[in-house]
Structures are given as structure tokens and as C-alpha cells.
Amino acid sequence: MTIIVNDVNKTYASGEVTIHALRNASLKVYDHKIVTILGPSGSGKSTLLNVIGGIDRFESGTIKVASQDLSSMKDSDLTEFRRNYAGFIFQQYNLIPTLTVEENIEVGRELSKNPLDMKDTLEKVGMYDKKDKFPYQLSGGEQQRVAIARALIKNPKFLLCDEPTGALDENTGKKILRLLKFVNETYGTTVLIITHNQGIGEMAHTVIKMSSGEIVETYDNVSPIEPEQVKWA
């Protein structure tokens, strides 16, 4: 699934001030790649992910995902697009506390027209044995596995991960990166990862750097390192 972002601008009004969250952002993400988005706080990383995933609208430019033009979609089409194509993973897991592991993942399954098998997904993320536990009974790493399973079971074409290891220690964080790489290799899912951790960039096929709403650098790693080799910052 190729993602083509062309000259995209997005602003937020904050009182009398206009914040340019994205300034003429352009990039191309090729199928089946792992891409990291680096940059200081407020540089526009989440905004970029949100416009690519159809969560947010933008003022000008175009975004095409698998030849579909997000800029010209009605809200209902954008919702359909999100359901069918995108899986979202956040730093804070966002699990429903009153539902078990399996029930949380079921929420993702019900959104999809073409979901993966529940047992297989639970096994793939290593949570089959804990499928009847509640989120409070799990470690942070386990909760993130459930969040990944909830996104993965939709069988999305791409996973959009906003600081997926931000709340985790090095050891657990690397296990989550290993799982994301496994998903990328097993299902061919394109994985976009926002991170403040420069070291994570080394395991990506492509690295995007942002500053003040602009994409200031894009480069490919010829030989991405394994998640276990990431220098943790």
C-alpha cells in the first residue's frame, strides 16, 4: 500500500494565533515498509499520522492511500477507509477496563469486514493464555500487546503507532518493536512509528524527520538493525 502525501498543510487556531501543524508536507511510503517519524515535541508528528489515517482533515494538498484520495472523501467514506485500512496504536493503550483481553480485541474484529481469526491473533501476540484477564491484571507490555492485537485483528493495510513504546522500559519496549516487525513481515503490514527515541530509527526501512510542521529529512536504511540492537534513549 503506497501512501503519497503531497504538499499538505494543516493549521490549528489557538486564540488569535494560527499554528501550522503541517507545512507543505510531502512524502511517499512504499508497501510493506517500517517507517519511523522522529522530531521534537510539537513538530507535527501526530498530526501527520492522523491525517494519513483519516482521523483528521487537512486544508490543502493531497493524500493518496492505495490510490484513494483522502482529500476528496466525505466523512462517511473516511470512516469506512479508517475501518478497512488503518490500525491505530497509542502510547497509553486505550483498552476498555471492563472488558477482558479477548473482548477488547473483539472490538477491533467487529469493525472489520475481513478480520483475522481471534485465536490466531491472540497466539500471534502471545496473549492466548491471558485472554480472560482484565487490563488491570496485565503489565504495560501485555496491555500494549492487546492494543496491537485489537488493531491487527482488523487485518489493516497499515498500522499507525504513536509512541508505542513511550510508556515501556527498554526490555519490554524492544519486545513490542519485535512484535511490530513480526506483524510487518508476517502480514506485509506497513508500519508507521512515531518516536522520540532516535535509536528506533535504525530498525526502520525509512526514517522521516520533522521540525516545526515540516518534513526536513527522509532517508532509507540499507540494512535496518534488529529491534534487540536498538540503542535505547
Strand partners, 3: 29, 65
CB of 222 to ligand ATP, least distance (A): 27
In terms of CB distance, is 40 or 188 closer to ligand ATP? 40
Number of residues lying near ligand ATP (CB under 6 A) = 12
∠ Cα 5 181 28 (to 5°): 15
Told to check if 207 binds ligand ATP by CB under 6 A, we report no
Contacts of ligand ATP in 7-26 (CB under 6 A): 12, 14, 19, 21
Told to check if 43 binds ligand ATP by CB under 6 A, we report yes
CB of 38 to ligand ATP, least distance (A): 9
In terms of CB distance, is 14 or 72 closer to ligand ATP? 14
> Which grid coordinates belong to 168?
515501556
Contacts of ligand ATP in 75-104 (CB under 6 A): none
Q: Which helix (H) or strand (E) holds 58?
A: none
**What is the C-alpha separation between 124 and 119, in angstroms, rounded?**
9
3-state secondary structure of 31: coil
Residues 6+ apart with CB under 8 A from 165: 144, 172, 173, 174, 176, 177, 195, 197, 200
Order of strands, sheet of 206-211, starting from the edge strand that comes earlier in the sequence: 86-90, 158-162, 190-194, 34-38, 206-211, 214-220
Told to check if 39 binds ligand ATP by CB under 6 A, we report yes
CB of 39 to ligand ATP, least distance (A): 5
Which backbone phi and psi does 41 adopt, to 5 degrees? -55, 135
Among the residue ranges 45-53, 66-74, 117-125, 142-150, the one whose residues contact ligand ATP (CB under 6 A): 45-53
In terms of CB distance, is 178 or 196 closer to ligand ATP? 196
User: Which residues are at the interface with ligand ATP (CB under 6 A)?
Assistant: 12, 14, 19, 21, 39, 41-47
